[in-house]
Chain A
Amino acid sequence: MIDEQIRDILAEFGRLRVDVATLDDDADLYGAGLSSHAAVNVMIALEDVFDIEFPDSLLRKSTFASVDAIRAAVDEVTEKAT
C-alpha cells in the first residue's frame, strides 16, 4: 500500500523519463531522471499524503534515491511521530 502511494507520487511529481511502474524498488530514481527540484516536490507530496514532515536530517539526496529508500524514510518519520 505504502509502495503504491509512493509510486503514485513519483508518477505525478517525479518527472521521470520512464514509467515508474517499470522500475524495481531499488532502482536509481536519479538515474531515471529525478531532478533535485522534482525531489522537493516529491518530498512535499509525501508529507501531504502521509501527514508527516521530513526532518532536516533526511533532506539529503539518498533519501529519495529509490522507492526502497523513500519507504524507509517514510517509515522512519512515521515511527518517530508515534
Chain B
Amino acid sequence: MVEVSEVARSLARFGDRYARRVFSDDELALWPGSVPVRACADLAERFAGKEATIKVLAPGEQGLDWRTIEVRRHRPAGCSVRLSGTAAALAQEAGIGRVTLSVSSAGGVAMAVAVGSGGGSGRRRPGERDDERDGECDSECDSGEIRKDGEP
C-alpha cells in the first residue's frame, strides 16, 4: 500500500533517478492519454503490486531489484506480473508457479494483494500477447481487476 502523493513527491524530488530505479522501461511507458495525476496513480498501483509480490516471494536477506518484478497492464482490464532475475529465482525456489495480483487505488491510496500458488502460467488476459507468456520465469501470472479513481 502506498499513497499516490508519496509517489508524486518522489517523482518531483528525484525524477528519473527514482523512476528508473523502481520501474522498468515498459512500466514507465504509460498508455496514450495518461495525464500526470493519473500517471502517478498508475505508478503507485504498480509499486503496491511490486510490494505485495515481494511479500509473496519472501526474499529475506536476498537483495532484490524492484525492476525484476514488473506489473503489466492489459486491456480492457487486469494486470499480470512478470518476474525476472532474482525475483524469478526466488519464485522457482519457493515452488511458486503463479502469482495472482489485484491492484487498485481509492482515496489517494494505491493498494495491492498478491497470492502465490504452485500452479502453471495461468490463463491469458484480454489483450495479453503470446510473447508476454514467454518470460524469463514460469511464474508469469494471472491478474485482478483494476479500478482507477476518476476513470469512467
Contacts and interface: CB of A to CB of B under 8 A. Distances in A.
B58 to A, nearest CB: 10
Nearest to B22: A40
Interface residues of A, number: 17
A60 B21 contact: no
Size bracket of the B interface: 20 to 34
Question: Interface majority SS on B: helix, strand, loop or mixed?
Answer: helix
A55 B2 CA distance: 24
A58 B10 CA distance: 21
A56 interface: yes
Dominant SS among interface residues on chain A? helix
B130 interface: no
A38 B51 CA distance: 12
Given A36-B51, A56-B86, A41 B63 contact: no
Interface of A: 15, 35-38, 40-41, 43-45, 55-60, 62
